[in-house]
Structure 1
Amino acid sequence: MWSRPANLPEPSCDDLAHVALRATAWADPVEVASAFADEIHACVLLSPDGWSYVLRRPDAVVEQGRDLPGLLDATVPLAGGPPFQGGVVGLAAYELSAELEATAPQTRGGAWPDLTLIRYPALLAFHAGQRRALAIGRGADPRAASEQADLALTWLDAPRTSARPGVLADAVALATADDHHAAAVAQTVDRIATGEIFQANLARPWRGTLAAGATPFDLFRRLARQSVAGYAAYLRLPGRALVSNSPERFLSVRPGAGGLWVESDPIKGTRPRGVDPAADAVLAAELQASEKDRAENLMIVDLMRNDLARVSTPGTVRVPELWSLKSYANVHHLVSRVRARLAPGRSAWDAFLAAFPPGSVTGAPKLQAMKVIADYESPRGPYCGSLFWAGVDGSLEASVLIRTVALLENAAGWSFEARAGGGIVADSDPAAEVAETTAKIGAILKALTGPE
């Protein structure tokens, strides 16, 4: 369904074809966005060591339709700018896969659209490491692009709000008790033993309400201060908001030698951080040496290789990185990398659809693992889906929506749900899997229930 935000002028033509860049003084993108964070379609894509983006005032919004290429033109980005110089931000709920694959077993009827595509003609881009900032505009001609870039510059002057002190959540409750999740894990291990699947990612939810006057952006801002991850994001939608502190890349597509190249960085294998450096080092070494965790990771690497091979040039699928240790605020992870060159005529959107939903949050074989998940979980909505941007040069950057809070607005304020899960394999221990979900949700619970 096509819709246009109110109070915006009609686009001058169907396809935007020019880009304008304006250099400006660096500022904290989270603080800049605080000025209009509750505005519908306000968006922040945050990276602590790369480019971050602040976007607002889209000129087109699509729900449920899948024609992403129809929203983009073939504009060549300007040199010296960031990877994303305007285009589309998209939110794919986990249940989108039921539209992509007729035999996918997801439960339908959740509170979130399967797919939302939002096109922005202007944005601000910030690079913390380089202390650079740019206003970027796109339009049907150079003058229109310049006007959009100038408009984005004015966002820097909007009055910013202060961080909210105190506890953000009125209540947070574990919706699936430890013993129930342990039983689901044990049953899944039994199903693996019968040969039904090799691995399935089971998650459980925490639910609650925000304190009176607290907003989704308050949570995003606090997470950004306390434990920001590489794919942190905020998106305000009508009656909904998404706050993600995800560390995981789903797909990255960039032009390169011979065409478009796609990479995926699946995460599998987790240990909590230690209470001191010595204990932390022991836990990291234990994870790196764990045959169970390495096998769990390798299964998903093989799954991603197969998914990407469907749209890639034969012989180009490679695994340049296997079982690397990555450490975050609350956990250590094993992370691998799969890389391939897309086949001629194939686009970043083809790669996204071929690989969705991410293998690291489903299992193997993927469709059967998804059937197991559906036996134990209600519709996931954004959780284990993807938030992504799609640029004018065919590029795409997509996260896996883990460490993510989905919020719904009602007459009393905001309710929320956050889930955490883990990959279940033949030798999974139910008690250890329960503990893993608790470790993974830790940063979100701290932001919700602790002081600023």
Structure 2
Amino acid sequence: MRVAAQLRTSWRDPLQVLSAFAGEPWAIAFLSGGQGPRARWSYLARRPDAVLTMRGDDGREPFRALAELLGPLGETGRDGPPFQGGLAGLASYELGDRVEPLGLARGPDWPDLAVGLYSSVLAFDHERRQVIAVGRGYDEADSEQAAFEAMSWLQDLPRPATRGPLTEGLAASDPAAYETAVAEVVARIHAGEIFQANIARRWAGRLAAGVTPFDLLARLAGQSAAPFAAYLRLAGLAVVSNSPERFIQVDADGGAETRPIKGTRPRGATEADDAGMRGELAASLKDRAENLMIVDLMRNDLARVCAPGSVKAPELFAVESFTNVHHLVSTVRGRLAAGKTAIDLLRAAFPPGSITGAPKVQAMKVIAGLETARGPYCGSLFWAGVGGAFDSSVLIRTAACVQDEQGWRIEARAGAGIVADSEPRAERIETEDKIAALLRALEAGA
């Protein structure tokens, strides 16, 4: 699909548009929240031309399969969105077992990889307040037809929002067991096995009768919009993510970026309390050290496929504020080496260092001994454009939904980065701060 066509129209709310087809298998959304310099574009896609699904027993090399599905890079329309058709989908955490074979356990529900090839995309430009229907094909007529197909989605009738609680509540894993796990990791750090590991707690329950995963996405967007929110519907499965964290991004010229998050404080009840929390996080030597370890890890990951000398960390320890928490965020940038692509970078960096630890491989072994299979949690929802651009999230603040005869089961996790001076109770409270927005969306009325 080397030819692109674009049609432009007036602004529509992407969530309203998505609501009409959110229940279709392979419907996918990337929702920026529309605030800040990294939140200009949102995307919707449906009805892929081809799909790639790989489970743990699939012997194919996944990154080669991704490159083959995407095909050779093609032209992109001028003055258009970064994503103008291509691949979009899910890389579950256990895909990391294909990068470094560790024998990670898999659950029965989630594939390692589930990706579609989309020739029709709706792009929502929050800055210019317009919608661009993008189509790709093998000739001009083919591309225009694909663009008209995307434009037709705007005519579908939106679904009304669901009111009231979305669930009767989620049950949290045992807090004492989590604190014991934290203490074990601290001991292993002091023994020299690792420097840091991200250990998560689990919340699980059911959506209320008649409630769908999209209802949770819409509720989160209204209560606590996030810059890397995303949604994927598969047959009997759905991922609902309200992530604040970018994994890796590549622009069409080969510039690469990652923005790892490490360091958290809750929002204050008053402006003075909130400012105090921000200041405490900014000044915390523990959180800076934790953040810097992951910056060094991500610099190493990028350096595997970037030009020598191009990998830099232009911004360290920036405090960014979200609905429930403040986070410490750093930026690492590089430039892909000649002959390397965004898919090469995905392989070099997956799974994200901010949710594994350092050294990454040994931290993953520690995690595997303390947690069940993560599935989507701490994986990524990503798109890979036909023009070479790429963007992806870290799937934190994320719900994994599985459909059965009774409706929808739902699971969510929240983790904390454990270092040498971590205190188990404080780390457990941090997980509760991180999950709070998701629980509020599920348990409170609209």
Tell me if both proteins adopt one fold, taking TM over 0.5 as the criterion.
yes
Give the alignment partner of residue 411 of structure 1, picking from 395, 402, 405: 405
Cα offsets for 1:366-396 (capped at 9, x unmatched):
1111111111100000000011000011111
Give the alignment partner of residue 13 of structure 2, picking from 7, 28, 39: 28
Cα offsets for 1:200-233 (capped at 9, x unmatched):
0000110000000000000001101110101101
What residue identity is the alignment partner of 1:121? S
| Offset of residue 109 of structure 1 | 3.8
TM-score normalized by the length of structure 2: 0.95
Residues in 2 aligned to 1:109 and 1:48: alpha-carbon distance in whole angstroms: 32
Q: Is the 8 A contact 1:86 1:392 kept in 2?
A: yes
Residue number in structure 2 paired with 1:276: 270
Q: Is the 8 A contact 1:288 1:325 kept in 2?
A: yes
Structure 1 residues 186-265: aligned runs within 5 Å: 186-256=183-253, 260-265=254-259
Give the alignment partner of residue 301 of structure 1, picking from 295, 313, 326: 295
Q: Is the 8 A contact 1:39 1:236 kept in 2?
A: yes
Residue number in structure 1 paired with 2:57: none
Structure 1 residues 80-91: aligned runs within 5 Å: 80-91=79-90
| Offset of residue 170 of structure 1 | 2.8
SS at match of 2:251: strand
SS at match of 2:168: strand
SS at match of 1:255: coil
SS at match of 2:169: strand
Give the alignment partner of residue 179 of structure 2, picking from 160, 177, 182: 182
SS at match of 1:169: coil
Residue number in structure 2 paired with 1:4: none
Residue number in structure 1 paired with 2:50: 60
Residue number in structure 1 paired with 2:425: 431
| Offset of residue 107 of structure 1 | 2.0
Q: Is the 8 A contact 1:403 1:419 kept in 2?
A: yes
| Offset of residue 110 of structure 1 | 4.3
What residue identity is the alignment partner of 2:164? G
Aligned-pair Cα RMSD in Å = 1.0
What residue identity is the alignment partner of 1:212? A
Structure 1 residues 107-146: aligned runs within 5 Å: 107-146=105-144
SS at match of 1:294: helix
Cα offsets for 1:244-287 (capped at 9, x unmatched):
0000000001133xxx1211100000000000110000011000
What residue identity is the alignment partner of 2:81? P
What residue identity is the alignment partner of 2:233? R
Residue number in structure 2 paired with 1:155: 153
Residue number in structure 2 paired with 1:3: none
Residues in 2 aligned to 1:80 and 1:255: alpha-carbon distance in whole angstroms: 13
| Offset of residue 235 of structure 1 | 0.8
Residue number in structure 2 paired with 1:41: 26
What residue identity is the alignment partner of 2:78? A
Residues in 2 aligned to 1:110 and 1:299: alpha-carbon distance in whole angstroms: 34
Structure 1 residues 367-378: aligned runs within 5 Å: 367-378=361-372
Residues in 1 aligned to 2:89 and 2:24: alpha-carbon distance in whole angstroms: 17
TM-score normalized by the length of structure 1: 0.94
Give the alignment partner of residue 170 of structure 1, picking from 155, 168, 173: 168
What residue identity is the alignment partner of 2:232? L
What residue identity is the alignment partner of 2:68? G
SS at match of 1:171: coil
Residue number in structure 1 paired with 2:343: 349
Residues in 2 aligned to 1:194 and 1:105: alpha-carbon distance in whole angstroms: 24
Q: Is the 8 A contact 2:380 2:392 kept in 1?
A: yes
Residue number in structure 2 paired with 1:5: none
| Offset of residue 121 of structure 1 | 1.2
Q: Is the 8 A contact 2:27 2:46 kept in 1?
A: yes
Runs of 5+ consecutive residues of structure 2 not aligned to the other structure: 35-39, 55-59
Residues in 2 aligned to 1:116 and 1:180: alpha-carbon distance in whole angstroms: 33
| Offset of residue 105 of structure 1 | 4.8
Q: Is the 8 A contact 2:83 2:385 kept in 1?
A: yes
Q: Is the 8 A contact 1:105 1:370 kept in 2?
A: no
Cα offsets for 1:179-217 (capped at 9, x unmatched):
111111011101100001000000011000000000000
Cα offsets for 1:44-88 (capped at 9, x unmatched):
110123110111111100012521121223211111110000111
Over 3 Å off, 4+ runs: none
| Offset of residue 414 of structure 1 | 0.1
Cα offsets for 1:2-38 (capped at 9, x unmatched):
xxxxxxxxxxxxxx12110001111000001111111
> Which 10-residue stretch deviates more, 42-51 or 317-326?
42-51
Residues in 1 aligned to 2:49 and 2:368: alpha-carbon distance in whole angstroms: 36
